[in-house]
Amino acid sequence: MRTRPTLSWTPTEDLPPATTDLTPVAEVLRAGKVVVLSGAGISTESGIPDYRGEGGSLSRHTPMTYQDFTGSVRARRRYWARSHLGWRTFGRALPNAGHRAVAAFERHGLLSGVITQNVDHLHQAAGSTDVVELHGSLRRVVCLSCGTFSGRRELAERLEGANPGFAPVPAALNPDGDADLTDEQVADFRVVPCTVCGGVLKPDVVFFGENVPPQRVEHCRALVREASSLLVLGSSLTVMSGLRFVRQAADAGKAVLIINQDPTRGDRHARTRVALPLGAALTALAEGLAVPLEGRADAPAP
């Protein structure tokens, strides 16, 4: 039985103090075989807000759950109207210095893989190739009836055609590409079906309340097993989908290091947490390790 999503976390014990010293992170990167686990915090500098940081989207909205999406025509209309509008901004987001640093570490053989909780495809846009999208990607759409996959750009064109002139002003954009709109603003939005069977279309992402595919979880567990250390970037680790890999690494005696400005649910398992902005911290690490950043800040996503 699935439960409602975990939307917040409050420490129930004293956590180790954070630091601004990047030396321990540089040491594990220099040794290589590092698996990166990234969260929404690495994409905030690309204009995509996070869920739980200061001003995070959970302070004003509750993400769509799998149960609501599959169980209600009204909920699907609301989701696709808001997501379609949000995609106009979300789909144009560009990788930032943090994404480019992670890609540079991979190119120089320091990483053994990247696990991302994000659905924005920005690691790949920055040049990373060995990326596991734990929660899927907004760039793909899947039919819940026949299983056919299609591209989000194709769907956006179909939704534009079905909703000419749809251009309400959203209150805000959320990390899942959802734009804050009122019920009145989405009331007349028309949802389009699968072109193959006429079934219900869903973004190829893991909604809150939905399970990550088991084979994907096992792939990530294998990456952690084979790694020497785990580096967490920009994740509060509130939900178990990411925290389980931190626990796995710590239980195996591997070094866990976290760069996140706020306390995380994984702090007590970590060797250290560095409280610095990710773009600046990862750029400094790259410079210290003589790893040049490549790629342009304005490079389009593939």
pLDDT digits (tens, 9 = 90+) for 219-272: 999 999 999 999 999 999 998 999 999 999 999 999 999 999 999 999 999 999
pLDDT digits (tens, 9 = 90+) for 79-108: 999 999 888 878 889 999 999 999 999 999
Write the single-letter amino acid at 102: V
SS3 per-residue string spanning 136-192: EEEEEEEECCCCCEEEHHHHHHHHHHHCCCCCCCCCCECCCCCECCCHHHHCCCCCC
Contact at 8 Å (CB) between 130 and 139?
Answer: no
Query: Is-catalytic flag, 135?
Result: yes
Question: How many domains, the chain?
Answer: 2
Contact at 8 Å (CB) between 26 and 169?
Answer: no
Within a domain: residue 30? yes
* Same-domain check for residues 156 and 197: yes
pLDDT digits (tens, 9 = 90+) for 168-207: 887 777 766 778 888 899 999 999 999 999 999 999 999 9
CATH assignment at residue 256 = 3.40.50.1220
Beta-carbon contacts of residue 275 (< 8 Å; ≥ 6 apart) = 18, 19, 20, 260, 261, 262
- pLDDT bin (cut points 50, 70, 90) of residue 61 is low
Query: Does residue 302 register a pLDDT over 50?
Result: no
Q: How far apart are CA 156 and CA 128, in angstroms?
A: 26
Q: What is the mean pLDDT of residues 56-67?
A: 65
Within a domain: residue 272? yes
End of a domain among 187, 205, 223? 205
Domain that holds residue 221: 18-48+94-135+207-297
Amino acid 297: pLDDT: 45
Q: Which among 84, 99, 121, 135 is annotated as catalytic? A: 135
